Amino acid sequence: MKRITAGFLGCGGIGCGVWDLLQDMQGVIAHREGLYIEVKRILVRDKDKKREATIPRGLFTTDAAELLNDPEISVILEFMGGEQPALDYLCQALEAGKTVVTANKMAVALGWHRLFAAAQQGGGGLYFEAAVCGAIPVIRTLQNSLQGNRVEALMGIVNGTTNYILSQMAESGRDYDEVLAEAQALGLAEPDPASDVDGFDATYKLSVLSSLAFHARVPYGTIHREGIGGISALDVAYARDLGYTLKLLAIAKRDSDSIDVRVHPALVPDRHPLASVRGAFNAVFIHGSAAGDMMLYGRGAGSAPTAGAVVSDLVYAAKQSHHPIPSFEHREELPPHLRMEDNWRCAFYLRFEALNQPGVLGHIATRLGEHQVSIEAVVQRHTEGNERVPIVILTHQAREKDLRAALKALDPAVAQARGVLRIEGQQ
Amino acid sequence: MKRITAGFLGCGGIGCGVWDLLQDMQGVIAHREGLYIEVKRILVRDKDKKREATIPRGLFTTDAAELLNDPEISVILEFMGGEQPALDYLCQALEAGKTVVTANKMAVALGWHRLFAAAQQGGGGLYFEAAVCGAIPVIRTLQNSLQGNRVEALMGIVNGTTNYILSQMAESGRDYDEVLAEAQALGLAEPDPASDVDGFDATYKLSVLSSLAFHARVPYGTIHREGIGGISALDVAYARDLGYTLKLLAIAKRDSDSIDVRVHPALVPDRHPLASVRGAFNAVFIHGSAAGDMMLYGRGAGSAPTAGAVVSDLVYAAKQSHHPIPSFEHREELPPHLRMEDNWRCAFYLRFEALNQPGVLGHIATRLGEHQVSIEAVVQRHTEGNERVPIVILTHQAREKDLRAALKALDPAVAQARGVLRIEGQQ
């Protein structure tokens, strides 16, 4: 029986979940894996705080050094969240040769370079499956199951809160503000929802996912980010009638020499596997050069699913005699360039508010055509008597900057774009 | 740069796919992984056969000993398929200390015990991601990402041919025979389709998946198997109207002390993630005690997706200093018992052909009730004038043997069950 001694940094919901899971699974892990895991010390801010798990008070400490300087503790499990002081602690632990298992997406996304350097120096392992998409084994898949592939595209629904809100809007026809308020009342959205609804959370995760997918560093700050705050129930309903579902997507695409990396709401065709990912579930869709289309689906948050991922990492780490560290110094043959908004291509959904008179559709279509934006479909409902009417247009793939220029060239007295959404995942 | 020397057993579609992929990815794998892979020898039956890949003729041999006895060849990649002689060759290679990467589900499912014993003896690794569900990383996930879980249920769409046929039947309303003939004409089904449509292929895969999921040996022969041959277009259509999709499922379920393992057609609710797996795609849905619901989706066959899985296994194996071998001697605390048809519980879809007269529904409902089968929904369409009418009933969960007894107790002059389908995946 191999024995490992672990310390926890932090003991909130996930930490308590890991504690309970280790108690519950101890016998099973010993039988299956020949492994006994002891938790020796737990760093907390307040030893007397009431917690969800029953943990012997003697394990708690408020002094990180009691873990980081203890040579008997070989693995540090971190659930503090936030960039600091977690990142400093993790780097100290790695430099001291300890293995780190973390559920902290911010520390990994922002401290990537420091963490890998510290792991390389100390020789311990760095595991972060729980930091991105909870129970979904996407980190392990990108690291260990796609070596025969170039990843050409990755599209993820990586934030459960926004997916819940968008699913509710689609199913009930209600407005964003109303559904957000309900999600907050249910505890499914934070009182300050910015981290989720403005796309920050998804952007941290995409930084990690795209870096692994492309074997290249994709820093957090280079990712284009838009949230779901401006989404109108009208556009969700039109899109549904046209056979599309609105999702907040974390997108990373590559062609031979450049990559797009962006987080924004997008329409996906109803037959695309991402369209049926409902409620708080997460999913990551990957197109590999050999594998073709694949998708991993599951619970992206919650204390039990995240704790399961932490324990899997812990057991996996304990069985490695040599910890693999991805090295982004070794670039692939063509170093990728980041393609910015000006250059990427998308299909678009456009909703115009237009004068109800002859020639208006011609005006819009002409401006689009002049900017190399070609129309795939038009929906204009019969609405006699109204002064202004909605016109919905789906375009073929076009350069985003051409589309933006076409919209600027419209005569605002004739037609104005009220809803502009990118379309992803078309065949 | 680490160098490994490999040999191929077999060189059909998958072998040629692996050859091409290794040529294509050689530079990338060297950069990413610091690994150079040389293919030294390829066992074929006919050196002069025309092949899809351009391979130097000098690599071919018709003598397996030239690979198995060559100490320089450290990894054997096997794509011969079938039980023998593949299984004997693989055991020889493993006993000689070589690592084996195989795409052969039959050899793994039927030779499980011999292969693991040989690997344990020789100290090499045994990798078989490509043997089950092609590009879907389900083997690695069961082995390396669920250590913090007890798997409570696994349900897979693991055969692309039958999923294509059932998807076509649902979308076009056509009959089984017609769709099968079309699939055969398109090369999507074999001239002798029994391996797919009678569920043999799915049963091999389920033997492997359920053994890994439950950390227990689930021999091929213990799995209950039914194919899709008897499926009527009428039942597919009724099910669709009721909000269900018909799939050939490979099912493994566990409660504390017993397991169900079975392959058969089943209805899944349209909102279940498996319902939207269309065409030739595969997916494996897993419910873990910590992870909750998760699903892995992708291409389950085809030369490129399967070759991608082989190459991933090869690279993964090359980087292990110690190869993990699952040991099924170490059982979990409660050794599972196999629960047979008599004891498992399901909800059911029942279509009766019944006399068009008062009291008939009462007769059916009474017989069901006497056998502890409770009714969830009844559909009886208005059909004046016909002597016999269809009645469709959905039941709550019931013991299968009770359901069968209730159907036998019906007066055949009054009502006969014409369609009986299990329902899985209800919330």
Name the residue of chain B whose CA is nearest to A298's CA: B294
> Could you read off the pLDDT of B121-143 as tens digits, one per residue?
999 999 999 999 999 999 999 99
**Residue B380 or B55, more confident:** B55
The answer to ipTM > 0.90 is: yes
Q: Is residue B182 part of a domain?
A: yes
Q: Is residue B312 part of a domain?
A: no
CATH of the domain at B99: 3.40.50.720
* Same domain (yes/no): A55, A177: no
* Same domain (yes/no): B122, B180: no
* Same domain (yes/no): A232, A143: yes
Among B310, B133, B286, B141, residue whose Cα is nearest residue A138: B141
What's the pLDDT at A323? 87
Confidence of residue A322 (pLDDT cuts 50, 70, 90): confident
- For A297, the closest of B135, B273, B319 (CB atoms) is B273
Considering only residues 156 to 215 of chain B, which have any Cβ-Cβ distance to chain A shorter than 8 Å? 215
> Could you read off the pLDDT of A363-381 as tens digits, one per residue?
999 999 999 999 999 998 7
In a mutagenesis test of the A interface, which of B147, B211, B325 is the best target, namely the one with the most A β-carbons within 10 Å?
A: B147
Q: Is residue A351 part of a domain?
A: yes
Q: Tell if the CB–CB gap between A305 and B290 is shorter than 8 Å.
A: yes
- Chain B residues within 8 A of A296 when measuring between CB atoms: 294-297
Name the residue of chain A whose CA is nearest to B300's CA: A291
**Residue B217 or B78, more confident:** B78
**Mean pLDDT, to the nearest integer, of A99-111?**
97
**What is the separation, in whole angstroms, between the first and last Cα of chain A?**
52
* Same domain (yes/no): B267, B151: yes
Q: What is the DSSP letter of A273?
A: G
Name the residue of chain A whose CA is nearest to B35's CA: A147
* Residue B140 Cα, gap to closest chain A Cα (Å): 8
Confidence of residue B321 (pLDDT cuts 50, 70, 90): confident
> Could you read off the pLDDT of B215-237 as tens digits, one per residue?
888 889 889 999 999 899 999 99
In a mutagenesis test of the A interface, which of B149, B278, B314 is the best target, namely the one with the most A β-carbons within 10 Å?
A: B149
Q: Does B405 touch chain A (CB under 8 A)?
A: no
> Could you read off the pLDDT of A243-264 as tens digits, one per residue?
999 999 999 998 767 888 999 9
Confidence of residue A325 (pLDDT cuts 50, 70, 90): confident
Q: CA B270, CA A281: separation in Å to the nearest integer?
A: 16
* Same domain (yes/no): B127, B151: no
Q: Tell if the CB–CB gap between A31 and B147 is shorter than 8 Å.
A: no
- Chain A residues within 8 A of B298 when measuring between CB atoms: 291-295
What's the pLDDT at A386? 79
Which 3 state secondary structure label does DSSP give A128?
A: coil
Instruction: Judge whether A245 and B238 are in contact, CB under 8 Å.
Output: no
Q: CA A44, CA B407: separation in Å to the nearest integer?
A: 62
CB pairs under 8 A between A and B: 191
Task: Reply yes or no on whether the pLDDT at B31 is more than 90.
Answer: no
CATH of the domain at A219: 3.30.360.10
Q: Is residue B385 part of a domain?
A: yes
Q: CA B188, CA B183: separation in Å to the nearest integer?
A: 5
- For B297, the closest of A150, A294, A299 (CB atoms) is A294
Q: Does B388 touch chain A (CB under 8 A)?
A: no
Task: Reply yes or no on whether the pLDDT at B36 is more than 90.
Answer: yes
* Same domain (yes/no): B176, B285: yes
- Chain B residues within 8 A of A33 when measuring between CB atoms: 147
Considering only residues 54 to 93 of chain A, which have any Cβ-Cβ distance to chain B shorter than 8 Å? none
What's the pLDDT at B337? 67
**Mean pLDDT, to the nearest integer, of A214-232?**
91
Q: Tell if the CB–CB gap between A290 and B297 is shorter than 8 Å.
A: no
What's the pLDDT at B341? 61
Q: Is residue B39 part of a domain?
A: yes
Is residue A322 packed enough to be buried (19+ CB in 10 Å), middle (13-18) or exposed (0-12)?
A: exposed
Name the least confident of A130-139, A143-152, A398-407, B213-222.
B213-222
Q: Does A425 touch chain B (CB under 8 A)?
A: no
Radius of gyration (C-alpha) of chain A in whole angstroms: 24
Q: Does B397 touch chain A (CB under 8 A)?
A: no
Q: Across chain B, what does the average pLDDT equal?
A: 93
Q: Is residue A340 part of a domain?
A: no
Which of B131, B154, B177 corresponds to the end of one domain? B131
What's the pLDDT at A332? 42
User: Kind of pairing, strands B415-423 and B258-269?
Assistant: parallel
What's the pLDDT at A340? 64
**pTM to 2 decimal places:** 0.96
The total number of structural domains in chain B stands at: 3
Q: Tell if the CB–CB gap between B140 and A140 is shorter than 8 Å.
A: yes
* Same domain (yes/no): A118, A15: yes
* Same domain (yes/no): B19, B117: yes
Name the residue of chain A whose CA is nearest to B315's CA: A147
Q: Is residue A112 part of a domain?
A: yes
Which of A80, A112, A131 corresponds to the end of one domain? A131
The neighbouring-strand residues paired with B282 are B298
> Could you read off the pLDDT of B285-313 as tens digits, one per residue?
999 999 999 999 999 999 999 999 999 99
Compute the half-sphere exposure of residue B31: CA atoms within 13 Å on the CB side of its CA: 17
Considering only residues 103 to 132 of chain A, which have any Cβ-Cβ distance to chain B shorter than 8 Å? 129
Q: What is the DSSP letter of B310?
A: H
Q: Tell if the CB–CB gap between B147 and A305 is shorter than 8 Å.
A: no
Name the residue of chain A whose CA is nearest to B21's CA: A148
What's the pLDDT at B335? 47
Confidence of residue A335 (pLDDT cuts 50, 70, 90): very low
* Same domain (yes/no): A185, A290: yes
Q: Tell if the CB–CB gap between A293 and B299 is shorter than 8 Å.
A: yes
CATH of the domain at A365: 3.30.70.260
Name the residue of chain B whose CA is nearest to A34's CA: B330
Domain that holds residue A409: 345-423
Which 3 state secondary structure label does DSSP give A2?
A: strand
* Residue B115 Cα, gap to closest chain A Cα (Å): 19
* Residue B427 Cα, gap to closest chain A Cα (Å): 14
Task: Reply yes or no on whether the pLDDT at A383 is more than 80.
Answer: no
- Chain B residues within 8 A of A152 when measuring between CB atoms: none
What's the pLDDT at A334? 42
Question: Is A247 annotated as catalytic?
Answer: no
* Same domain (yes/no): B215, B292: yes
Q: Does B4 touch chain A (CB under 8 A)?
A: no
Task: Reply yes or no on whether the pLDDT at A241 is more than 90.
Answer: yes
Q: Residues B288, A141, A266, CA angle at the centre, nearest 5°? A: 90
**Buried (b) or exposed (e) across A340-356, using 16+ Cβ within 10 A?**
eeeebebbbbbbbebbe
Q: CA B121, CA B195: separation in Å to the nearest integer?
A: 33
* Same domain (yes/no): A147, A270: yes
Q: Does B151 touch chain A (CB under 8 A)?
A: no
Q: Tell if the CB–CB gap between B296 and A297 is shorter than 8 Å.
A: yes
Confidence of residue A230 (pLDDT cuts 50, 70, 90): confident
Confidence of residue A306 (pLDDT cuts 50, 70, 90): very high
Considering only residues 320 to 359 of chain A, which have any Cβ-Cβ distance to chain B shorter than 8 Å? 321-322, 324, 330-333
Is residue B1 packed enough to be buried (19+ CB in 10 Å), middle (13-18) or exposed (0-12)?
A: exposed
Most confident of the ranges A79-93, A316-330, A383-397, B330-344: A79-93
* Same domain (yes/no): A401, A350: yes
List Cβ neighbours of A58 (8 Å cut-off, separation of 6 or more).
none
Q: Tell if the CB–CB gap between A141 and B141 is shorter than 8 Å.
A: yes
Which of B245, B278, B299 corresponds to the end of one domain? B299
* Residue B270 Cα, gap to closest chain A Cα (Å): 10
- For A32, the closest of B34, B215, B304 (CB atoms) is B215
Q: Does A152 touch chain B (CB under 8 A)?
A: no
- Of the candidates B205, B319, B401, B408, the residue annotated as catalytic is B205
- Transcribe B93-128 into DSSP letters: HHHTT-EEEE--HHHHHHHHHHHHHHHHHH---EE-
Q: Is residue A326 part of a domain?
A: no
**Mean pLDDT, to the nearest integer, of A115-123?**
94
Q: Tell if the CB–CB gap between B32 and A215 is shorter than 8 Å.
A: yes
Confidence of residue A216 (pLDDT cuts 50, 70, 90): confident
Name the residue of chain B whose CA is nearest to A270's CA: B276
